[in-house]
Amino acid sequence: MIKPHGSETLTPLYVSDETQRQALVEEAKTLPSQLLSSAGAANAVMLGAGYFNPLIGYMNRADVLEVSEKMHTVSGLFWPTPVMCLVENNTASSGDRIALLDPNVDGSPAIAIMEIEAVEQMSETDMQQVAEQVYRTTDLAHPGVAELMEQGRTLLSGPIQVLNFSYFEVDFADTFQTASEIREEIKSAGWNKVVAFQTRNPMHLAHEELCRIAMERVEADGCVIHMLLGKLKPGDIPADVRDAAIRKMAELYFPPNTVKISGYGFDMLYAGPREAVLHAVFRQNMGATHFIIGRDHAGVGDYYGDFDAQTIFDDDVPAGALEIEIFRADHTAWSKKLNKVVMMREAPDHSKEDFVLLSGTKVREMLGKGIAPPAEFSRPEVAQILMDYYQSLS
């Protein structure tokens, strides 16, 4: 099986020993506490679940700035985006042991315990630098930049022990999985070559066929459809609806034991190319050997070029930094000429009119009116789930 990023074995920070964890939960009640931002809590979940392997906690200022500029820590570990604990109203000091509180669960229970190594201030110049280098913009209309700038300016760094997986393990009990759990299931299935597909949206027919195309071309044993379960921008479809739609598609249209549906607890960054690289790290850590990256992966608006999330692997990711291989996909759509879904670059004799193309706005309008998109665009069973959702909003 493919090795995790940066280490021989996966080292998740979740305290799996029940007795030890319960003792830490009780200890957390006696410790000074700090309320996290949603982004800080999501980082704790990812550290606990092994997706951020081999990190042992939150980054200090030097690492944040080094990662933002050069995509590696001061020590030389390749890493594409900062992993920060930015807070407000801090009273802790270096050397303190504190409980980190989860803002996304009622009562704000402790999600982790942290050994503080440094308490530093991020200047406005620092924050602008992070935004410009990671998101390629400082525009507050960018949802990822807006989320970044809404956080505090005090940076806490140091190792953590993770006590739970926030609301993800409760609200998505059948879908949320750690990187370790996915690795075990891949091993148990006897899969050697594994394709991973990232999604924050329901999967239309083109997405479904893209997974099939990738599996066939790399001769994969299986595909993990791995959905983001955390916070999105306003207007995006909620995770539970996406989950139901994707499960229905896989159940009806893929052979048994070839597709695995799973999810992870993280908030969307919308960081385009940098987030694509981060997504590749996640998938290597969970055991995938190949990762599909298509048009405008992890993008938003017009901040990134259509294929910047692919070219970053050529231009900025050093050779050997990651073991996972990237499957580079073009926009996929139904060809009226060929009567099947194709990658558009592989149909040079086609014009735009030869494809079934619908904008997201148009699809949402149709679904809201109870009109199913054409079968060349969406499976009817998937469309029904989405129609039910959109009509529930009116």
E strand or H helix that includes residue 262: strand 259-264
Q: How many whole angstroms separate alpha carbon 173 and alpha carbon 364?
A: 28
Q: How far is CA 362 from CA 293, 308, 342, 373, 375, in A?
A: 24, 26, 21, 9, 15
Residue 264 and residue 177 in contact, taking contact as beta carbons nearer than 8 Å: yes
Give one DSSP letter per residue of 32-101, joined into a string.
-EEEPPHHHHHHHHHHHHTTTTT--EE--HHHHHHHHHHSB-TT--B-SS----EESS----TT-EEEEE
Q: Residue 321: beta bridge partners?
A: none
Q: Count helices and strands (H / E) in the chain.
A: 13, 15
Q: How far is CA 50 from CA 18, 25, 81, in A?
A: 18, 20, 16
Q: Nearest-5° angle of CA 54, CA 290, CA 68?
A: 45
Q: How far is CA 286 from CA 196, 267, 334, 378, in A?
A: 9, 18, 32, 29
DSSP state of 347: -
Q: How many whole angstroms separate alpha carbon 36 and alpha carbon 261?
A: 29
370 backbone dihedrals φ, ψ, rounded to 5°? 80, 20
Residues tagged active-site: 200-201
Q: Residue 222: beta bridge partners?
A: 194
Residue 324 and residue 2 in contact, taking contact as beta carbons nearer than 8 Å: yes
Q: How many whole angstroms separate alpha carbon 288 and alpha carbon 57?
A: 24
Q: How would you classify residue 242: left for phi > 0, otherwise alpha for psi between -120 and 50, otherwise beta?
A: alpha
Q: How many CB atoms lie within 10 A of CB 202?
A: 24
Alpha helix locations (H) across 74-219? 124-130, 143-150, 168-171, 179-189, 205-218
